Amino acid sequence: MKLLFLFLDGIGLGEDNPETNPFVRADMPHLQALLGGQKLTKDAAPFEGERVSLLSIDPNLGVKGLPQSATGQAVLLTGINIPAQLGYHYGPKPNPEVAQYLNGGTIFSKMAGANRKTALLNAYPPRYFDGIDSGKRLYSSIPLALTNAGLPLFTEKDYYAGRALSADFTGKGWREFLGYPDAPIFEPESAGARLAELANEYDFSFFEYWASDYAGHKQDMASAVKQMEIFDNVLKGLLANWQDEDNLILLASDHGNMEDLGTRKHTAADVPLLIFGNQKIRAEFQKEITDLTSIAPAINSFLKI
């Protein structure tokens, strides 16, 4: 029984409008086929297919203001309505009030406490650790939760050894932006196959993709479309090498953003929850899910922690 959580930052369910929504423009034949020919927009949810369920999930949680990354990610990892308890959404990086929720009560901590295998599958370059060590960079909610659980972040060495993946899936960012000319490179479909192989080594694994939120803030349609077309092929490779049986893959987000490039701000849109796996298991997993707080308890129940 294994669960892979694919986290795509700043992905909402938007309008069927190609002028503002890259999910309408992008050529994503693999996901579209799974969704019965539909694009990933708000009109597609809810959906039940042979291999995937799509739910529309509220990230606002009854709190005024637009959802933000630090609190949204912390909610996904704890199941606690942190914005309601604090009285505000917060981000991008956790302040001390948000950070306290990420120490002991996260899925990572519960997995570690139960002696179950868990990991964040992203590889981080040396400059990331230099920034953390110098105090010039703060952990975002997801790596903070992992390190608070006593678990290591994967490094450059892990990436070269094949134990982790680049945050852009393919590794091109390591060559083009980080200056590693010999960094391993994957075609998107091969990256998906590698992700399946890595996730199969753990009971609970997590992969964080943040470039989607960046494209939303930049209102960069070309980048957003390219990202989602690459991701569609990653998904193809992942699912081709994943055994459904009693395993699940989740895809979710913390708040809307990239689905509406008419604004550079976050949105109040519902976010997608895509659940890939056996229909019976999917039905059981999703029966108590109502909003962003429901996902972590469903994961805990599924993994029996």
- Kindly state the tokens that stand for 88: 């505000």
Instruction: Dump strand ranges (E) for 167-278.
Output: 204-209, 248-252, 271-277
What pLDDT is stored for residue 240 in this prediction? 97
**What is the value of pTM for the model shown?**
0.96
Q: Is 227 a domain residue? A: yes
| Predicted confidence (pLDDT) at residue 214 exceeds the cutoff of 90 | no
Q: Is 71 a domain residue? A: no
At 20-31, the pLDDT tens digits run 999 999 999 999
- Kindly state the tokens that stand for 66: 């637009």
Q: Is 127 a domain residue? A: yes
What pLDDT is stored for residue 129 in this prediction? 96
At 162-207, the pLDDT tens digits run 999 999 999 999 999 999 999 999 999 999 999 999 999 999 999 9
At 57-75, the pLDDT tens digits run 999 999 999 999 999 999 9
| Predicted confidence (pLDDT) at residue 257 exceeds the cutoff of 90 | yes
Q: Is 158 a domain residue? A: yes
Q: Is 301 a domain residue? A: no
> CA–CA separation, 22 vs 14, rounded Å?
9
DSSP 3-state of 42: helix
Q: Is 300 a domain residue? A: no
> CA–CA separation, 287 vs 275, rounded Å?
12
What pLDDT is stored for residue 118 in this prediction? 98
Q: Is 242 a domain residue? A: yes
CATH number at residue 17: 3.40.720
- Kindly state the tokens that stand for 296: 């972590």
Please measure the distance between the N-terminal and C-terminal CA atoms of the chain and give it in whole angstroms. 12
Q: Contacts for 145-149 with beta carbons within 8 Å, 24 or more apart?
A: 145/74, 145/77, 145/102, 145/106, 145/107, 145/108, 145/109, 146/108, 146/120, 146/206, 148/102, 148/103, 148/104, 148/106, 148/108, 148/109, 149/106, 149/108, 149/109, 149/111, 149/112, 149/118
Q: Is 145 a domain residue? A: yes
At 76-110, the pLDDT tens digits run 999 999 999 999 999 999 999 999 999 999 999 99
Beta bridge partners of 119: 205
pLDDT band at 245 (very low <50, low <70, confident <90, very high): confident
Q: Which residues of 32-46 are buried (b: 16+ CB within 10 A; e: fewer)?
A: bebbeebbbbbebbe
DSSP 3-state of 87: coil
> CA–CA separation, 112 vs 149, rounded Å?
7
> CA–CA separation, 105 vs 98, rounded Å?
12
Rounded mean pLDDT, 104-129: 97
State how many domains the chain has: 1
Of 34, 6, 53, the C-alpha closest to 281 is 53
Rounded mean pLDDT, 149-170: 97
What pLDDT is stored for residue 280 in this prediction? 94
**Residues of the domain holding 46:** 3-59+94-270
Rounded mean pLDDT, 245-260: 96
What pLDDT is stored for residue 251 in this prediction? 98
Q: For residue 219, what are the contacts with CB-CB under 8 A and spacing of at least 6? A: 261, 262, 263, 264
DSSP 153: P
